[in-house]
Amino acid sequence: MAFTSLSEKLKHILGKLTRSGKLTELEIKTAMREVRVALLEADVNFAVVKDFVARVSEKATGDSVMESLTPGQHVIKIVHEELTQLLGKENAKLTVSPKPPTVIMMCGLQGAGKTTFCAKLGHLLKGQGKRVLLVACDIYRPAAITQLKVVGKNAGVEVLEQGQVDQITLAREGLKHASKGAFDTVIIDTAGRLHINEELMSELVKIKKEVSPTEILLTVDAMTGQDAVNVATEFNAKLDVTGVILTKMDGDARGGAALSIRQVTGKPIKFTGVGEKIGDIETFHPERVASRILGMGDVLTIIEKAKENVSEAELMKLEKRMRENSFTLEDFLVQFDNVKKMGNLDELLAGMGGMMGKNVKSLGRLDEEQMARNKAIIQSMTVLERRNPDLIKSSRKQRIAKGSGTTIQEVNALLKQFEQSKVLMKQMSQMGKKGVRGFR
């Protein structure tokens, strides 16, 4: 997962400051030197690192910090603010054309995930009530048109393709089709190349001139680090892109691209790809990402995922159960499915951060295989046992273990997790806007 290594290093470095009483300038200087090394190892642009460390150092050695009763926490606050600034300060939303359709021109090199992301973005916008048309203009890469049709079908959005016609004609026909079909959003999947060349850029410039896009979004692979920044710089110079999409953020990207692109190009990161499923797309929120990097968690994103994947009725029912302290193993069973809908479990844990993340990890393994065994255990119980776990003693445990193909130890572990989860649910009910109300 992106930022994992950087996050661990920064938590270690800044943790030493919080364990000190009053801080000296030497301690801050030493910490900033370590921060500089950690950022460079994360493949952050050298000039960006230099400016970042200088700003943090200047603020961290100010009188307000040095005289503070909790100087270490004060320094962390400064680092968080500067990381947020580095990442873009505020969420950059998609621009909507005052006169439909909104035209989004997607560009990027081959292998960055551009075509798949066209469908992900289409799926996201469809969920927001938009009528989306995908236009297949990638006429060079083998099977690109077929790929767009497949992912478009998975996203539930229409795809316009007319074979191996030139890109400019295809883009023009896409706008005509959108106008006739009352589509309010058009996403154009332009052709990529293995490397940047004049032919590619010339075609993209012509498409831009032909369709006057509302947004020009560049898709780059976060795994490529500073190469992604170089690609963004060159595309921006030719096309004046309006935003960047970082894909493969669920991999082991060191984070250098995310922390460099805004400062180097001046263009905001608007979305990230966090998996291979059609719903694995996240709006980029600089402050939340900064919190995640510093191990503070990202509960707001988790709340948004819950809202997208769990029905209003289920949330209200869960809220009522927690309020009345009547959360049962039947509810626990439902939550396994709800959590699975929300995506990668490791990312959810990382997003909780702090004590909340530690509390969730204390529940034991949360991988999909273990979840399947836990579901089998609960499904092997009677309705009475699910609603009254205190009834489950030795003989019942033997029967449940046999019926679920598990062991008595696993049954005991599940019951322990259930009790711990009830405590966790109470804690989560106080987050957001005081409980699951915050999900709505």
Distance between CA 83 and CA 56 in Å, rounded? 10
pLDDT at 436: 38
For residues 207 and 167, is the Cβ–Cβ distance under 8 A? Answer: yes
Distance between CA 82 and CA 80 in Å, rounded? 6
Other CB atoms closer than 10 Å to residue 202's CB: what's the count? 11
Give the contacts of 249 (CB within 8 A, at least 6 positions apart).
1, 2, 222, 258, 272, 273, 274, 282
Residue 418 structure tokens: 């259930």
- Give 326: exposed, middle or buried? Use CB within 10 Å, 0-12, 13-18, 19+: exposed
For residues 106 and 190, is the Cβ–Cβ distance under 8 A? Answer: yes
- Give 6: exposed, middle or buried? Use CB within 10 Å, 0-12, 13-18, 19+: buried
Count Cα atoms within 13 angstroms, Cβ side, for 336: 23
Residue 112 structure tokens: 């960055």
For residues 438 and 431, is the Cβ–Cβ distance under 8 A? Answer: yes
Residue 126 structure tokens: 């469809």
Whose tokens are 């050298």? That residue is: 46
Distance between CA 130 and CA 237 in Å, rounded? 31
Sheet with 102-108, edge to edge strand ranges = 158-160, 132-137, 185-190, 102-108, 215-221, 243-247, 269-273, 281-283
For residues 119 and 132, is the Cβ–Cβ distance under 8 A? Answer: no
Which string of b and e fits 376-404 if b means at least 16 CB within 10 Å?
A: bbbebbeeebbeebeebeeeebebbbeeb
Residue 309 structure tokens: 């994947």
Amino acid making up residue 306: A
Instruction: Give which of 298, 299, 343 is closest to 439, Cα–Cα.
Output: 299
Q: Between the CA atoms of 303, 307, 312 and 318, what dihedral angle is there, to the nearest 10 degrees?
A: -30
Instruction: Indicate the SS3 state at residue 220.
Output: strand
Give the containing element (helix H, strand E) for 381: none
Instruction: Give which of 223, 189, 172, 176 is closest to 119, Cα–Cα.
Output: 189
Distances (CA, A) of 28 to 66, 102, 429: 10, 49, 38
pLDDT at 37: 95
Give the contacts of 181 (CB within 8 A, at least 6 positions apart).
131, 133, 158
For residues 400 and 411, is the Cβ–Cβ distance under 8 A? Answer: yes
Distance between CA 284 and CA 241 in Å, rounded? 17
Distances (CA, A) of 35 to 38, 54, 59, 247: 5, 11, 15, 26
For residues 206 and 100, is the Cβ–Cβ distance under 8 A? Answer: no
pLDDT at 339: 63
Distance between CA 274 and CA 251 in Å, rounded? 8
Distances (CA, A) of 425 to 204, 352, 430: 51, 13, 9
Residue 113 structure tokens: 């995930």
Query: Which domains are present in the chain?
Result: 4-87 (1.20.120.140), 102-285 (3.40.50.300), 300-439 (1.10.260.30)
pLDDT at 440: 38
For residues 169 and 158, is the Cβ–Cβ distance under 8 A? Answer: no
Mean pLDDT per 10-residue interval, the chain, length 440 residues: 84 84 84 94 93 92 68 85 91 92 94 94 95 93 91 95 87 93 95 83 93 96 89 93 92 83 94 90 90 70 58 65 72 72 54 46 57 90 91 94 94 88 64 41
Q: Between the CA atoms of 416, 421, 426 and 432, what dihedral angle is there, to the nearest 10 degrees?
A: 160
pLDDT at 226: 87
pLDDT at 30: 93
